[in-house]
Structure 1
Amino acid sequence: MTSCGACLGRMMVALTAAMLSTSVSSSRWGEEGVEYGQLGTSITLPCDRANGSSPVEWRFNGSADLPQRSSTRLGSLILLQANLSAVGNYSCYDDRGRLLSSRFLRLGYPPGKPSVLCHTSNYENFSCYWTSTLETFLPTRYITTYKNTHHPTSPCLQDPARPNMCSVIKPKIWSSYRMNITEENPLGSSFQLLVVMMHTIVKPDPPEALVVQPVPFFPRRLQVRWDCPVTWHKESHFELKFRVQYCSVLHASWSVVETVNLSYVITDAYAGAEHVVQVSARDFLDSGSWSDWTAEARATPWSSSTKETSDKTTTVELEDPGEGPSKVPHTEPFDPSDALEKVAILASMGTFAFIILSVALIITVLVWIRVRKKGKDQAKNRDFISVVHLKALPRTQIL
Structure 2
Amino acid sequence: MARPPGPLLLLVFLLCLLLYLAAAGRPCVPAGLSQDTILGRLGANITLTCQDEVPANATVLWQVEEQGPAGAWGRQLAEGNTLLLRQLRYEDSGHYSCSVGSHLLRSLRLLVAEPPETPQVSCYRRSHDKDVLCEWPQQKKPSPGTRAMLWVKRRFVAENATEQRCRYFSKARKFVCRVKVPPGTDDTKHLVVSTCVSNSAGGSAGRDKIITLSSVLKPDPPVNVTVEALEKAPQRLQVNWSYPSSWDPRFYWLHFQVRYRPEPAPTFVEVDQVTTTWLDIRDAWRGMRHVVQVRAKDEFGHGTWSEWSQEAVGTPWTGRRKTWGPEAGGSVPMEDGTYGVTLPPLLFGEDDTNGAGGSVMESSIHPVASPYAFLVTGGSLLLATLLPCRYRQMWWTSGQEMTKAEGEGQHMLVPLGLPPPTLSDTPLLSQTAPSAPGMLHMTHEDYSSSGQ
Q: What TM bracket, shorter-length normalisation?
A: 0.5 to 0.7
Against the structure 1 CA distance between its residues 307 and 115, is the aligned structure 2 distance closer, same or farther, given a 3 Å change threshold?
farther
Q: Among 166, 175, 179, which residue is 2:177 paired with? A: 166
Letter in 2 for 1:265: D
Q: Distance in 2 between matches of 1:136 and 1:331?
A: 66
RMSD (CA atoms): 4.5
1:126 paired residue number: 132
Q: Distance in 1 between matches of 2:288 and 2:140?
A: 50
Aligned residues: 285
Instruction: Give the superposition deviation at 1:210.
Output: 0.9
Please, which runs of 5 or more residues in structure 1 have no aligned partner? 1-22, 27-33, 72-76, 323-327, 334-399
Please, which runs of 5 or more residues in structure 2 have no aligned partner? 1-31, 65-75, 328-341, 352-356, 363-452
- Calculate the TM-score normalised by the size of structure 2: 0.52
Mean Cα displacement is larger for which, 170-179 or 287-296?
170-179
1:143 paired residue number: 149
Against the structure 1 CA distance between its residues 202 and 319, is the aligned structure 2 distance closer, same or farther, given a 3 Å change threshold?
same
**CA shift digits 1:156-181 (9 cap, x unpaired):** 36468897211112263112222222
Q: Is the 8 A contact 1:242 1:279 kept in 2?
A: yes
1:185 aligns with 2:194: no
Mean Cα displacement is larger for which, 142-151 or 153-162?
153-162
**CA shift digits 1:216-255 (9 cap, x unpaired):** 2222111111111111121234x32111111112333321
Against the structure 1 CA distance between its residues 286 and 45, is the aligned structure 2 distance closer, same or farther, given a 3 Å change threshold?
farther
1:269 paired residue number: 284
Indicate the structure with greater helix content: 1
Letter in 2 for 1:164: F
**CA shift digits 1:160-217 (9 cap, x unpaired):** 8897211112263112222222112123322213222222222211111112111222
Matched ranges for 1:1-399 at <5 A = 24-25=33-34, 35-39=37-41, 57=60, 59=62, 61=64, 62-65=76-79, 84=88, 87=92, 90-94=96-100, 96-100=101-105, 102-123=107-128, 124-132=130-138, 137-148=143-154, 152-156=160-164, 158=166, 164-170=175-181, 172=185, 173-192=187-206, 193-237=208-252, 239-258=253-272, 259-305=274-320, 311=326, 316=345, 331-332=360-361
Q: Secondary structure at the residue paired with 1:305?
A: coil
Q: Is the 8 A contact 2:225 2:241 kept in 1?
A: yes
Q: Secondary structure at the residue paired with 2:215?
A: helix
**CA shift digits 1:100-125 (9 cap, x unpaired):** 55444123333342222211221222
Q: Secondary structure at the residue paired with 2:214?
A: helix
Q: Distance in 2 between matches of 1:307 and 1:35?
A: 87
**CA shift digits 1:116-175 (9 cap, x unpaired):** 221122122210112346766443111222111576311236468897211112263112
Instruction: Give the superposition deviation at 1:45.
Output: 6.9
Against the structure 1 CA distance between its residues 91 and 148, is the aligned structure 2 distance closer, same or farther, given a 3 Å change threshold?
same
Identity among equivalent positions (%) equals 25
Letter in 2 for 1:57: V
Larger Rg: 2
Q: Distance in 2 between matches of 1:253 and 1:131?
A: 29
Q: Distance in 1 between matches of 2:325 and 2:38?
A: 77
Q: Is the 8 A contact 2:227 2:312 kept in 1?
A: yes
Q: Is the 8 A contact 1:207 1:294 kept in 2?
A: yes
**CA shift digits 1:16-35 (9 cap, x unpaired):** xxxxxxx9339xxxxxxx94
- Calculate the TM-score normalised by the size of structure 1: 0.58
Q: Distance in 2 between matches of 1:152 and 1:310?
A: 81
